[in-house]
Structure 1
Amino acid sequence: MSDSSSNEVDATDQEHREVGRGLLDEEMGPSGAMAHLYRGEIHRMRFWRERLDRTTNWAVIILAALLTWAFSSESNPHYVLLAGSTVLCVFMTIEARRYRGYDIWRSRMRTLQKNVFAYGLDPSQGLEDQDWRAKLSKDYREPRLKISRTEAIAHRLRRVYLPLVTIILGAWVLRITAFADVSWPASAMIGVIPGTVVTATVFLSYIALFAIALNRKTWHAETELMTEDLRNK
């Protein structure tokens, strides 16, 4: 390596060191531009996280209301539970769209954490990404959604909605078997639609949701605490 190339590498490394170290200097404090930038990204991420939680809360409330109503009387139709599962899927779609927005701010926050704060605390571990400045600059110039709609839906299914749909499916099965005037499959009938067709449609829909939830071939979301991460020592 030539002396000029070596000097360029040393200058770049020194530049990265100063960014990380500056945020930890006492005289810089909270007035630093990078610190304000990080604080702003945290605020935006928190705002979008609250929007996610709000949708989840409404889904849980609707689920509880449907279960209470469905089992309050044997005369109440079972298909209201199926309508409730459709409402849950609508909430899931809305929440997936919000999750894509949330991932924008979280990915920026994680970029700063990994390449500024982590590096400033321990430069010996090196940088997570040598081109993080250029990538973050491009993201500020041209903000883009970083994950697909399918990935967002799969994430929200795994975290929230697949368990909720499983609960409402189990309640529906219990409703058409143990709490019905007639035996299955007649108890699953909806109008002129035979009970076998209704049951097959319900279970095929659930299998489709389960398959989407397990699809992680295009996982681009920023890392966060996963179950597997918590097990690692």
Structure 2
Amino acid sequence: MSADRNDPDEAHVGKAIDDDPSYLSAILGHAYRGELDRETTWRSRLDQTTTWTVTVMAAILTWAFSSPDNPHYIVLVGVVVATVFLLIEARRYRDYDVYRSRIRLFQQNLFAPALDPDRGLEHADWRTELSEDYRRPTVKITLREAVANRLKRIYAALLGVLLFAWVFRVTAFAPTQASVDDAAVGTVPGSVVVVIVVAYALAIVVVTVWPREREAKEEFREGEYGEWKDSE
């Protein structure tokens, strides 16, 4: 039988739990474990995407350099595939960040004060914030920030390898002296292909290094070794 939302007894179930610290502690513990499991699941999905990217890259590079007769543009196909995987992983990272942000609320405002009560809460209204997120779940970061995060973590290096491999493939396997014309793809002139590749590389660099204010909740970031620092 479904609960009647207009029934006063049903409407006050949550308040009754809130009034009893033992019930509330048990529920928060279960909630934390559930969020942690969901975060772990999405973390594994991120790793799976990266694994597929590396596998496809290895196969493409192996075939591209196995014979001088193989076309160089197959490496550019690898760049396109890696970019698609990057966008997929960025979307997954946005979902992963939803559960990670909830876990950080628990850690900062429940566990940390329990271990060191003198420092108080990080967020005075953390329960309200968590309640609203349970009522209306929303992603916390933009796609641009998610893409930039995955580029910094792994994809900038992977795409850099592919672009370098393409340059080496075009120049090293040139029949005579290497020139821009060797980069031609079908009827597309080599100069146009080079311009497109350079523009793509510059776009990747800009997205990766462009300064921005992080929207994601705190996590360990790059810094001096031995320091644990929140995001800027």
1:46 is displaced (CA, Å) by 0.3
1:229 is displaced (CA, Å) by 6.1
Say whether residues 1:220 and 2:195 are aligned partners.
no
Amino acid at match of 1:145: V
Alignment length (residue pairs): 207
Distance (Å, rounded) in 2 between the aligned partners of 1:144 and 1:96: 16
Distance (Å, rounded) in 1 between the aligned partners of 2:143 and 2:50: 18
**Is the Cα–Cα contact under 8 Å of residues 151 and 218 in structure 1 kept in the other structure?**
no
* 2:28 corresponds to: 34
1:155-178 Cα distance to aligned partner (Å, 9 max, x none): 111111110000000100100111
**Which of the numbers 180, 186, 192 marks the counterpart of 2:181?**
186
* 1:65 corresponds to: 59
Say whether residues 1:175 and 2:169 are aligned partners.
yes
* 2:89 corresponds to: 95
C-alpha root-mean-square deviation of aligned residues, in Å?
A: 1.8
Q: Greater RCO between the two (CA within 8 Å, min separation 6)?
A: 1
Q: TM-score, normalised by structure 1?
A: 0.84
Amino acid at match of 1:56: T
Amino acid at match of 1:184: S
Say whether residues 1:198 and 2:189 are aligned partners.
no
The 4+ residue runs of structure 1 with deviation greater than 4 A are: none
Say whether residues 1:77 and 2:71 are aligned partners.
yes
**Is the Cα–Cα contact under 8 Å of residues 151 and 216 in structure 1 kept in the other structure?**
no
Which consecutive residues of structure 1, in runs of 5 or more, have no partner in the other structure? 1-18, 23-27
* 1:155 corresponds to: 149
Amino acid at match of 1:71: F
Distance (Å, rounded) in 2 between the aligned partners of 1:230 and 1:115: 26
* 2:12 corresponds to: none
Amino acid at match of 1:167: V
Distance (Å, rounded) in 1 between the aligned partners of 2:117 and 2:135: 28
| Range with bigger deviation, 181-190 or 118-127 | 181-190
* 1:9 corresponds to: none
Distance (Å, rounded) in 1 between the aligned partners of 2:56 and 2:161: 13
Say whether residues 1:54 and 2:71 are aligned partners.
no
**Which of the numbers 206, 224, 227 marks the counterpart of 1:211?**
206
1:149-207 Cα distance to aligned partner (Å, 9 max, x none): 11111111111111000000010010011122242212111112221211111011111
1:23-79 Cα distance to aligned partner (Å, 9 max, x none): xxxxx7xx8111111101100000011111110100000011111111100010000
Query: Taking structure 1 as reference, are residues 71 and 93 closer, same or farther at Cα in structure 2, changes over 3 Å only?
Result: same
**Is the Cα–Cα contact under 8 Å of residues 52 and 99 in structure 1 kept in the other structure?**
yes
